């Protein structure tokens, strides 16, 4: 089923660490639900029991010797399970799906961050997803230092400990951020860049404007 023929819309959220994806996801969920949109909220890596188990491996600092290819293959293994067991069935039933990260994260983190060949990523993308792509991707963009400060403040306030990715150096996240912005520039119809360095209120206003525009297109 192609993007044009399936009844549900697939929206993804992307950004570097601490960009506010989870916070904004809750806003999007509330906003769409208030408009009567049947909705499923999920995340990557994860989203199904098996994919969440793979997420556990990917984020665990214990596996500090994980090779880059192992990491890449695990991301796509988790994605195949998630896509075929949860995302596609929901979309085909007319439920919209909002997902915290998807394959753009693989191009940004494994591609730009780890230096994996983007052509290899593209081959795996086709193998796992065929021509399935998000209908809309919001990129929560902010300076890396601002996101890191938010993550550190959250940990200091008793939030989750930093994971295997969050302990990477600033240069890694600068590369990730750059990759996201390049992807958005290359395909402006699918991506919307949100200035996530602003206040929560401003981020929500920007998000609402993007959703209103998308709804106009999708619902006529
Ligand atoms: N990954 C994932 C890959 O490498 N490849 C892939 O293909 C995929 C799918 C897990 C990791 O996996 C990697 C990337 C990730 O490192 P994740 O669970 O999404 O992915 O982990 P994180 O991005 O690390 O999620 P975080 O929870 O750290 O960041 P969020 O969700 O962007 O941030 P959020 O909403 O929790 O906010 C962080 C803090 O900032 C505050 C919040 O209250 C919170 O305390 N905040 C704001 N403060 C001020 N102003 C604002 N506008 C704020 N917005 C939020």
| Probe residue for ligand 1, chosen from 83, 99, 105, 113 as the CB with the greatest number of ligand atoms within 8 Å | 105
Q: What sign for the dihedral angle of Cα 202, 204, 209, 210?
A: positive
pLDDT of residue 34: 96
Q: Does any ligand 1 atom lie closer than 6 A to the CB of residue 104?
A: no
- pTM equals 0.96
**Continuous segment of H or E residues that includes residue 42:** strand 39-43
Q: Calculate how far, in angstroms, residue 46's C-alpha sits from the geometric centre of ligand 1.
A: 14
Q: Does any ligand 1 atom lie closer than 6 A to the CB of residue 20?
A: yes
Percent of the chain with pLDDT over 90: 87
Cα 167 from Cα 212, distance rounded (Å): 37
- Looking up tokens 């919307």 gives 192
Inter-residue contact 42 to 100 (CB < 8 Å): yes
Cα 197 from Cα 200, distance rounded (Å): 9
Inter-residue contact 97 to 40 (CB < 8 Å): yes
The CATH H-level (homologous superfamily) assignment of domain 10-219 is P-loop containing nucleotide triphosphate hydrolases (3.40.50.300)
Distances (CA, A) of 164 to 55, 57, 168, 187, 204: 11, 10, 8, 30, 29
Cα 163 from Cα 63, distance rounded (Å): 11
Model pLDDT for residues 151-198, shown as the tens digit of each residue? 888 888 888 888 889 888 899 999 999 999 999 999 999 999 999 999
Cα 66 from Cα 190, distance rounded (Å): 33
**Continuous segment of H or E residues that includes residue 14:** strand 10-15
Tell me what the mean pLDDT of segment 59-73 comes to.
97
């Amino acid at each position: 089923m192609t993007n044009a023929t399936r009844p549900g819309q697939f929206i993804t959220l992307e950004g570097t660490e601490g960009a506010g994806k989870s916070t904004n996801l809750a806003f999007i969920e509330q906003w769409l639900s208030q408009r009567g949109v049947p909705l499923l909220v999920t995340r990557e890596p994860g989203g199904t029991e098996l994919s969440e188990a793979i997420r556990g491996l990917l984020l665990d600092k214990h596996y500090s010797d994980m090779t880059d290819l192992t990491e890449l293959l695990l991301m796509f293994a988790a994605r195949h399970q998630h896509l075929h067991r949860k995302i596609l069935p929901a979309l085909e039933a007319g439920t919209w799906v909002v997902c915290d990260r998807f394959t753009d994260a693989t191009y940004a983190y494994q591609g730009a961050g780890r230096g994996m060949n983007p052509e290899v990523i593209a081959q795996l993308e086709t193998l796992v997803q065929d021509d399935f792509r998000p209908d809309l991707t919001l990129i929560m963009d902010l300076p890396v230092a601002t996101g890191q400060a938010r993550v550190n403040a959250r940990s200091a306030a008793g939030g989750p400990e930093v994971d295997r990715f969050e302990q990477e150096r600033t240069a890694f996240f600068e590369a990730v951020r750059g990759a996201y912005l390049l992807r958005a520039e290359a395909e402006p119809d699918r991506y919307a860049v949100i200035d996530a360095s602003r206040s929560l209120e401003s981020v929500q206003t920007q998000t609402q404007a993007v959703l209103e525009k998308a709804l106009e297109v999708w619902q006529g």
